[in-house]
């Protein structure tokens, strides 16, 4: 972006914001308590909205801000609607990242000193260079974000450098080696940044998580004791990164490389060998061939197994055949077999019972039966690019959708020498063609062959092109593809992945297999595996619990069908979720304190804690201050929590005064349930689904406490690109406020996007927002200063009535958008279009704007924009002389909306636009082969013809269309049927070439504007609308005169081309004689000019013509037009200062000019006297 020329407007907005924020803080504008009595009515007239508390290992960024702005705008709107609104805001510190970062700092100081002297960058890069991969991974969304530390690090390698990038010096960084310092440092900064944004948060209810906060720690322990008693928490095997050498799970802090890496789930496809190669028979000395032998392939896409044509092995790669617990033989790489041995695949944990070692070339040509494919037998074929460090070394081949597979299959089909080299017979390759299984928008049902052809990929060795091909089709296929196969036809690919995986596992055709996403090395230099280890987990697969979660989903408002489908898909496949960790920060499991409760598990019902946090903690984030109710954490027993949150629980044995506990319970009973929870869409398959599960588990018989609505949004792009620290395309919340002001940023956030698709924060939009807001306030000030000059009396002109109607329509439209939490649309209708209505009124109201309407507009605009830009609106509210805060104001009440009147105004604007286009076309030079034609002069007059009815041929066509529309429930038949019926009408014979294009136009208009386009007459008086706005049309087209006539008075061409709503215009130039108009007044910036005088001109028409030439003349009533007493010599005399009227006579309004074109002479007739005016007139401005 270009550097700003100045910051005056930004500084003005920031100054206002700081003043308004101080005002709100003094007024405690956003602190809300439950009323002292709560009636039995279910309509509590309250609005409780929450946002997933952000993780506190850095400053809040624009991505956080975009999601939480949805809460913020909602609270602003609902408050204006008269609801008691609560928006609390907690800060999350549970989990591994903070502890891992703190431990990394300790380790860096141990290894490199304090401050650390890190090794040379190039040397370090070479040493830790990661293995490259061109695999595209579809993330398992149930895991949430793997490592927020990694996500925030940008391109820095060492934690110390990451901390420096946050603006910290070496002395400050040392303190972050203590994990608790993070909890003291970042949460207050988050609060400060959010206050600068002007969020309507009740900060008394804010808190941090982990056992550092004794009240929240007690709350989470109560929740987990309750869940365990209700048999929602179980103990058993769960997948985790594990070091066989160390004999224990390998957490982030125990790793030499691979921080943040978790288990990656694969579906292990079992391909049974029907005809084993000779090597397996010859070397089989233990009669193992009586057992089933399988090549096992690890795939991320089980739903594509319908398209298998073969499998791939690498000829020179070493494989092992080992015996599984079932006695079957699996063939794969030894690395993957090692992983499997820790996941229950072998009889003895960690031991691989190898039957034999084999080279890939010895397996080639094996005849296989594979699950789901339409081919009964497929074969093992050679692929030279298979990697040993990922998967099993055996790869399923789906050439319809995998570019690598189609490239390799084409290679072996067309290269006979390659087949002969590896002993592959023609029958194993040539009959096998790609099977269409998925339809991808833009790529058809054979996407891989198509994209390989587009990129001209010649062989499997075109690695760069193949990577590009995969990027084009792989993710698009998963997220947008539609299944074509029986049983799943028409379903989205992403929705059937889990059900198909489950089906194959249940049939024994596949198994779940895990390995680390990337290589993980422990500090003991051991390559880690994924192992099944004992852990506590939440049993989300329990049928009864799942059914109740689905019940909650049925009544949940999701605002968007895609969000609902994502919830449904998640609840369908969701099983166990490990809720315990041995490392990190958090609350300890009450019954097994070696375990910590992990971050996706202590964050499911904390919204209930918000309702009482202010009375327990009083705004002290870590809960270690004095409690407003003088309650101590140790007094918060399980029975006390039960009493607060379960209305059927008896009063507990406690020394807490009864009125205090009653007050705590009243706060919860009033505010619950949560009315809306706003979040990024990536949390639907994890946090938000767990949110539903845990609410139904804690309040199983009280569905009045279940979540009411979830508003999911897409990710935020910055200037159409992904936000990234490493590329510099990144903004923290505080940077955005400094750069654009709080309201400028909020305006751009509202404009960024509404749907679950990715939104886009555009910096130029934010810059333009600063200008828009500043200009708006300046205009308000101008109107207040000049209010006595505005028109008063009845507000009943055409444009007064249109403006009033458009304001009322804008209010209703904006209200609908706010109700649906569609803030981009609300901004469009409630600001951009609302302002456009005002600008149109200002332009069209030739007689001047009406004072009452102008100030009604300012007040309404302030209220409509207030949820999005509250600071500026609060300031404007004060300019209007309002004594109470805008935060206590009410949403504007819309008056009646005259739709017909607004459509007639729209007709006026469209007609004016069409006239400008036709005027422009009129003034183009006529086409000439020589290219020497001159453009015609500017016309002075225009006749506009309007039609009372359609020409007969159009009338007949419309009548027929209207008849079909009514009889077919609003549907028109095909054009063939219409053409046939119209062709049978004798009166249309000679118009048939024009009839069907007319029908096509009507059909298009019908789709856009509804059935009124079939009416045979307009719903308003077309001529009256034009006549009432004749001055505007004449001025905007810079013409002398416009006449509005009926088409019936014109010739046949006009009658044929003119129809209701589509006027016809004819421009012409009236001749004139040129005279000079001089202004003798000194130092006023006015000048002499020439204008044409036309036959029949009056003084007023000449003054109007002058004002069009001289734009400095604004008020025509101040212009005095004069002629010389001596028309021959008067203009030659030198004017005398202060005596500008000497030797001149005024021209009266009754005077009429006449011209003689042949003699170029102008005369003036006034009061029966005709005089020659010469070639010069005088104008004065008084």
- pLDDT tens digit string along 316-325? 999 999 999 9
Predicted local confidence at residue 994, as pLDDT: 83
| Range from 136-140, 141-145, 866-870, 978-982 carrying the lowest mean pLDDT | 141-145
**Residues pairing with 1166 in the sheet:** 1169
Distance CA 673, CA 607 (A): 9
Distance CA 784, CA 776 (A): 12
Helices and strands of the chain, counted as H and E runs: 38, 38
- Which tokens belong to 532? 């099944």
**CATH code at 218-236+539-607+617-707:** 3.40.50.620
Among residues of the chain, what percentage have pLDDT more than 70? 94
Q: Are 1133 and 1143 in contact (CB under 8 A)?
A: yes
Element holding 1177 (H helix, E strand):
strand 1176-1181
Report whether pLDDT(152) > 70: no
- Where does 494-639 show beta strands of DSSP type E? 510-516, 521-522, 529-539, 576-578, 580-581, 596-597
Report whether pLDDT(459) > 80: yes
Element holding 296 (H helix, E strand):
strand 293-299
For residues 933-944, give the mean pLDDT: 87
pTM: 0.81
Instruction: For residue 280, name the pLDDT band (cuts at 50, 70, 90).
Output: low
- Asked whether the bond before 115 is cis by omega within 30 degrees of 0, the reply is yes
Q: What residue ranges do the domains of the chain occupy? A: 218-236+539-607+617-707, 264-516, 765-890, 934-1068, 1072-1181
pLDDT digits (tens, 9 = 90+) for 398-425: 999 999 999 999 999 999 999 999 999 9
Give the CB-side neighbour count of residue 166, counting CA atoms within 13 A.
21
- Which tokens belong to 610? 């918000």
User: What sign does the dihedral 1024-1029-1030-1033 (CA atoms) show?
Assistant: negative
Q: Are 265 and 497 in contact (CB under 8 A)?
A: no
| Range from 482-486, 549-553, 853-857 carrying the lowest mean pLDDT | 482-486
Instruction: For residue 145, name the pLDDT band (cuts at 50, 70, 90).
Output: very low
For residues 174-184, give the mean pLDDT: 95
61 exposed, middle or buried (CB, 10 Å; 0-12, 13-18, 19+)?
buried
Give the CB-side neighbour count of residue 1098, counting CA atoms within 13 A.
7
Q: Are 328 and 344 in contact (CB under 8 A)?
A: no
Q: Are 253 and 100 in contact (CB under 8 A)?
A: yes
Report whether pLDDT(154) > 50: no
pLDDT digits (tens, 9 = 90+) for 1106-1131: 888 887 887 888 899 999 999 988 88
For residues 440-446, give the mean pLDDT: 91
Among residues of the chain, what percentage have pLDDT more than 90? 70
Q: Between residues 43 and 948, which one has the greater pLDDT?
A: 948
Using alpha carbons, select from 512, 585, 531, 574 the residue that is nearest to residue 549: 574
Indicate the average pLDDT of the chain: 90
- Which tokens belong to 637? 């027993």
For residues 463-480, give the mean pLDDT: 87
| Range from 164-173, 539-548, 701-710 carrying the lowest mean pLDDT | 164-173
For residues 977-988, give the mean pLDDT: 85
Q: Are 1048 and 951 in contact (CB under 8 A)?
A: no
For residues 334-362, give the mean pLDDT: 96
Q: Please give the CATH architecture assigned to the domain spanning 264-516.
A: Alpha-Beta Complex (3.90)
Report whether pLDDT(359) > 90: yes
- Which tokens belong to 840? 């149109």
Predicted local confidence at residue 146, as pLDDT: 39
pLDDT digits (tens, 9 = 90+) for 778-834: 999 999 999 999 999 999 999 999 999 999 999 999 999 999 999 999 999 999 999
- Give whichever of 663-677, 755-769, 933-947 has the largest mean pLDDT: 663-677
What values do phi and psi take at 620, rounded to 5? -80, 115
Helix (H, G, I), strand (E, B) or coil at 917: helix
For residues 704-723, give the mean pLDDT: 94
Predicted local confidence at residue 995, as pLDDT: 85
Q: What share of the chain is helix, strand, coil (3-state, %, to 5)?
A: 45, 15, 40
Q: CA distances (Å), 568 to each of 348, 530, 551, 707, in order?
A: 39, 29, 11, 16
Predicted local confidence at residue 476, as pLDDT: 84
- Which tokens belong to 556? 């949940």
Element holding 416 (H helix, E strand):
helix 416-421
- The 10 Å CB-count burial string (b at 16+, else e) for 388-421 is eebbbbbbbbbbbbbbbbbbbbbbbeeeeebbee
Diameter of the chain measured on Cα atoms: 135
Predicted local confidence at residue 926, as pLDDT: 80
- Give whichever of 258-262, 1074-1078, 1107-1111 has the largest mean pLDDT: 1074-1078
Distance CA 778, CA 903 (A): 31
Predicted local confidence at residue 993, as pLDDT: 83
- Give whichever of 126-135, 485-494, 864-873 has the largest mean pLDDT: 864-873
Report whether pLDDT(288) > 70: no
Instruction: For residue 281, name the pLDDT band (cuts at 50, 70, 90).
Output: low
Predicted local confidence at residue 1111, as pLDDT: 76
Q: Are 449 and 399 in contact (CB under 8 A)?
A: yes
Distance CA 1145, CA 1169 (A): 14
- The radius of gyration of the chain's CA atoms, rounded to the nearest angstrom, is 39
Report whether pLDDT(428) > 80: yes
Q: Please give the CATH architecture assigned to the domain spanning 765-890.
A: Orthogonal Bundle (1.10)
Give the CB-side neighbour count of residue 920, counting CA atoms within 13 A.
7
Report whether pLDDT(203) > 80: yes
User: What sign does the dihedral 64-70-71-72 (CA atoms) show?
Assistant: positive
pLDDT digits (tens, 9 = 90+) for 1014-1058: 888 888 999 999 999 998 999 899 898 999 999 988 888 888 888
- Which tokens belong to 1029? 């706005």
Predicted local confidence at residue 140, as pLDDT: 54
For every residue of 1088-1110, DSSP letters joined together read -EEEEEETT-BHHHHHHHHHHH-
Element holding 313 (H helix, E strand):
strand 310-313
Q: Are 612 and 90 in contact (CB under 8 A)?
A: no
Give the CB-side neighbour count of residue 427, counting CA atoms within 13 A.
3
Instruction: For residue 147, name the pLDDT band (cuts at 50, 70, 90).
Output: very low
Q: How far apart are the first and last CA of the chain?
A: 48
Report whether pLDDT(275) > 80: no
- Domain 1072-1181 bears CATH identifier 3.30.1330: no
């Amino acid at each position: 972006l270009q550097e700003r020329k100045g910051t005056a407007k930004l500084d003005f907005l920031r100054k206002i914001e700081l003043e308004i924020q101080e005002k709100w803080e003094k007024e405690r504008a956003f602190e809300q308590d439950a009323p002292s009595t709560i009636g039995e009515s279910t309509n509590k007239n309250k609005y409780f909205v929450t946002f997933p508390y952000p993780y506190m290992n850095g400053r809040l960024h624009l991505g956080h801000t975009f999601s939480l702005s949805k809460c913020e705008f909602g609270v602003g709107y609902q408050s204006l609607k008269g609801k008691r609104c609560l928006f609390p805001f907690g800060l999350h510190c549970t989990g591994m990242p903070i502890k891992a970062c703190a431990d990394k700092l300790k380790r860096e100081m141990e290894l490199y000193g304090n401050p650390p002297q890190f090794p040379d960058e190039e040397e370090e890069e070479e040493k830790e260079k990661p293995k490259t991969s061109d695999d595209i991974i579809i993330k398992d969304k149930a895991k949430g974000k793997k490592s927020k530390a990694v996500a925030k690090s940008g391109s820095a390698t060492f934690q110390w450098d990451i901390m420096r990038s946050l603006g910290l010096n070496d002395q400050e960084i040392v303190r972050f080696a203590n994990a608790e310092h993070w909890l003291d440092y970042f949460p207050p900064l988050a609060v400060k940044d959010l206050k600068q944004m002007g969020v309507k948060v009740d900060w008394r209810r804010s808190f941090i998580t982990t056992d550092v906060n004794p009240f929240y720690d007690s709350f989470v322990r109560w929740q987990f004791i309750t869940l365990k008693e209700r048999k929602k928490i179980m103990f058993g095997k769960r997948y985790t990164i594990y070091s066989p050498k160390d004999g224990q799970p390998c957490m982030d802090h125990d790793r030499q490389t691979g921080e943040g890496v978790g288990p990656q789930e694969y579906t292990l496809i079992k391909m049974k060998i029907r005809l084993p190669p000779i090597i397996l028979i010859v070397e089989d000395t233990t009669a193992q061939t009586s057992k089933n032998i399988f090549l096992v392939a690890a795939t991320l896409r089980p739903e594509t197994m319908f398209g298998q044509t073969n499998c791939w092995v690498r000829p020179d790669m070493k494989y092992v055949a080992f015996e599984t617990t079932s006695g079957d033989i699996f063939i794969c790489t030894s690395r993957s077999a090692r992983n499997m041995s820790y996941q229950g695949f072998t009889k003895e944990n960690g031991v691989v019972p190898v039957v034999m070692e084999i080279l890939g070339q010895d397996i080639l040509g094996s005849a296989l039966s594979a699950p789901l494919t339409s081919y009964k037998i497929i074969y093992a074929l050679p692929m030279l690019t298979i990697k040993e460090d990922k998967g099993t070394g055996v790869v399923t081949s789906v050439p319809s959708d995998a570019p690598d597979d189609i490239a390799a299959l084409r290679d072996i089909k067309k290269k006979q020498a390659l087949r002969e080299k590896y002993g592959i017979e023609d029958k194993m390759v040539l009959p096998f063609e790609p099977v269409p299984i998925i339809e991808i928008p833009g790529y058809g049902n054979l996407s891989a062959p198509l994209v390989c052809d587009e990129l001209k990929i010649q062989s499997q060795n075109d690695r760069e092109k193949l990577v590009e091909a995969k990027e084009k089709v792989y993710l698009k296929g998963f997220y947008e593809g539609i299944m074509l196969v029986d049983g799943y036809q028409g379903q989205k690919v992403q929705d059937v992945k889990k059900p198909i995986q489950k089906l194959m596992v249940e049939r024994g055709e596949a198994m779940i297999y895990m390995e680390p996403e990337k290589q993980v090395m422990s500090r003991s230099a051991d390559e880690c595996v994924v192992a099944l280890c004992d852990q506590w987990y939440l049993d989300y697969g329990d049928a009864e619990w799942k059914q109740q979660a689905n019940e909650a989903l049925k009544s949940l408002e999701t605002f968007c069908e895609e969000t609902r489908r994502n919830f449904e898909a998640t609840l369908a496949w969701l099983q166990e979720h490990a809720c315990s960790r041995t490392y990190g920060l958090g609350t300890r499991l009450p019954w097994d304190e070696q375990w910590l409760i992990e971050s996706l598990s202590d964050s499911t019902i904390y919204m209930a804690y918000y309702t009482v946090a202010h009375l327990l903690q009083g705004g002290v984030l870590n809960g270690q201050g004095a409690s407003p109710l003088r309650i101590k954490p140790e007094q918060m027993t399980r029975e006390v929590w039960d009493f607060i949150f379960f209305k059927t629980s008896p009063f507990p044995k406690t020394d807490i005064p009864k009125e205090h506990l009653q007050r705590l319970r009243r706060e919860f009973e009033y505010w619950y349930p949560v009315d809306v929870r706003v979040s990024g869409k990536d949390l639907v398959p994890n946090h938000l689904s767990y949110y539903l599960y845990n609410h139904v588990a804690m309040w199983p018989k009280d569905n009045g406490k279940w979540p009411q609505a979830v508003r999911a949004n897409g990710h935020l792009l910055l200037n159409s690109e992904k936000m990234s620290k490493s590329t510099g395309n990144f903004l923290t919340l505080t940077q955005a406020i400094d750069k654009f002001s709080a309201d400028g940023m909020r305006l751009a956030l509202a404009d960024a996007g509404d749907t679950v698709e990715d939104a886009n924060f555009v910096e130029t939009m934010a810059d333009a927002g600063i200008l828009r807001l500043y200009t708006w306030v300046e205009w308000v000030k101008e109107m207040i200063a000049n209010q006595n000059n505005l028109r008063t009396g009845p507000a009943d002109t055409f444009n007064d009535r249109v403006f009033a109607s458009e304001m009322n329509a804008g209010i209703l439209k904006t209200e609908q958008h706010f109700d649906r939490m569609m803030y981009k649309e609300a901004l469009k209708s409630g600001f951009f279009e609302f302002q456009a209505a005002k600008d149109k009124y200002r332009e069209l109201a030739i007689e001047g704007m009406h004072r009452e309407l102008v100030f009604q507009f300012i007040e309404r605009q302030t209220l409509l924009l207030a949820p999005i830009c509250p600071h500026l609106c609060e300031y404007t509210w004060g300019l209007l002389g309002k004594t109470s805060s805008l935060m206590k104001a009410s949403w504007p009440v819309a008056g009646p909306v005259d739709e017909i009147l607004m459509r007639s105004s729209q007709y006026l604007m469209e007609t004016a636009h069409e006239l400008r286009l036709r005027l422009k076309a009129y003034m183009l030079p006529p086409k000439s082969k020589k290219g020497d034609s001159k453009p015609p002069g500017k016309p002075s007059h225009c006749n506009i013809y309007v039609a009372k009815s359609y020409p007969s041929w159009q009338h007949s066509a419309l009548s027929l269309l209207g008849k079909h529309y009514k009889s077919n429930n609003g549907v028109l038949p095909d054009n063939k049927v219409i053409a046939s019926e119209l062709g049978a009408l004798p009166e249309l014979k000679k118009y048939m070439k024009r009839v069907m294009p007319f029908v096509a136009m009507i059909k298009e208009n019908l789709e856009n504007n509804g059935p009124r386009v079939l009416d045979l007459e307009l719903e308003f008086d077309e001529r009256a609308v034009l006549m009432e706005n004749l001055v505007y049309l004449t001025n905007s087209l810079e013409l002398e005169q416009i006449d509005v006539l009926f088409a019936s008075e014109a010739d046949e061409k006009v009658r044929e081309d003119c129809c209701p709503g589509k006027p016809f215009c004819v421009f012409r130039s009236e001749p004139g004689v040129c005279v000079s108009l001089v202004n003798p007044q000194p130092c006023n910036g006015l000048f002499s000019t020439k204008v044409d005088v036309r036959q029949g001109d009056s003084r007023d028409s000449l003054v109007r013509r002058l004002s069009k030439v001289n734009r400095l003349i604004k008020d025509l009533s101040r212009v005095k037009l004069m002629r010389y007493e001596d028309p021959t010599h008067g203009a030659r005399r030198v004017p005398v200062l202060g005596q500008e009227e000497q030797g001149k006579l005024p021209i009266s309004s009754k005077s009429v000019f006449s011209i003689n074109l042949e003699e170029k002479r102008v005369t003036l007739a006034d009061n029966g006297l005709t005089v020659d005016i010469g070639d010069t007139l005088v104008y004065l401005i008084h």
